[in-house]
Amino acid sequence: MLATVEQDIWIDAPVDVVWRTVTEPELVAQWFAIEADFAPTPGYEGTLTLGRTQEPRRVRVSVQSVEPPRSFSYRWLHPDGVPARTGTSVLVTFTLAPERDGTRLRVVETELDDMGWTPDELDRYLAEHTRGWAGHLGRLADQLTATRP
């Protein structure tokens, strides 16, 4: 089975508003990065400085397809000096669909299997980017709190 990271959310706003939030650099800089050198133009090579919930870290992004207002994708995690393609980067795709007077926004990370990671590295990426067994650890920690006031 192909490894993917996938999440979605329903938003009480029309597709075009969600589209702007996901693609306009000034807005992206507010929900994603602390700095975004970024443009919704296919082929644009930019950077995002991530750091809202972790140590600040600059990652390169390479914008792939831009199909307003339904689909937007970029590649990331490719090392400096290496072009973004299958095998050097992970593909992130946002899709937007109208649903119940609002929008269903889905984000999927694919081509993880092509990264040349060992099974352990792949497991680790998935465990750290999906809810899988993080929940198990959380329950253990809760149990600990409950048993030791």
Partner 1 sequence: MTDLDDELWTAVAEPGRRRLLDVLLVHGEATPTALAAELPFTRQAVSKHLAVLLDAGLVTQRREGREVRYTVEPDRLHDAARTMIAAANRWNARLNAIKRMAESLHRAEEHEPPRA
Contacts with partner 1, residue ranges (CB under 8 A): 5, 7-14, 17-18, 20-22, 27, 30-32, 52-54, 77, 103, 105, 107, 120-121, 123-125, 127-138, 140-141, 143-145, 147-148
Q: What is the dihedral of CA 9, 52, 122, 117, to 10 degrees?
A: 130
Q: Which is nearer to partner 1, 65 or 143 (CB)?
A: 143
Provide, rounded to whole angstroms, the least separation between the CB of residue 13 and partner 1.
4
Q: Which is nearer to partner 1, 27 or 43 (CB)?
A: 27
Neighbours of 63 (CB within 10 A): 20
Polymer length in residues for the chain: 149
- Dist CA 97 CA 142 (whole Å): 37
- Dist CA 85 CA 106 (whole Å): 22
Provide, rounded to whole angstroms, the least separation between the CB of residue 44 and partner 1.
20
Provide, rounded to whole angstroms, the least separation between the CB of residue 118 and partner 1.
12
Q: Which is nearer to partner 1, 98 or 138 (CB)?
A: 138
- Dist CA 96 CA 105 (whole Å): 5
Provide, rounded to whole angstroms, the least separation between the CB of residue 121 and partner 1.
8
Cis peptide leading into residue 42 (ω within 30°): no
Q: Which is nearer to partner 1, 81 or 120 (CB)?
A: 120
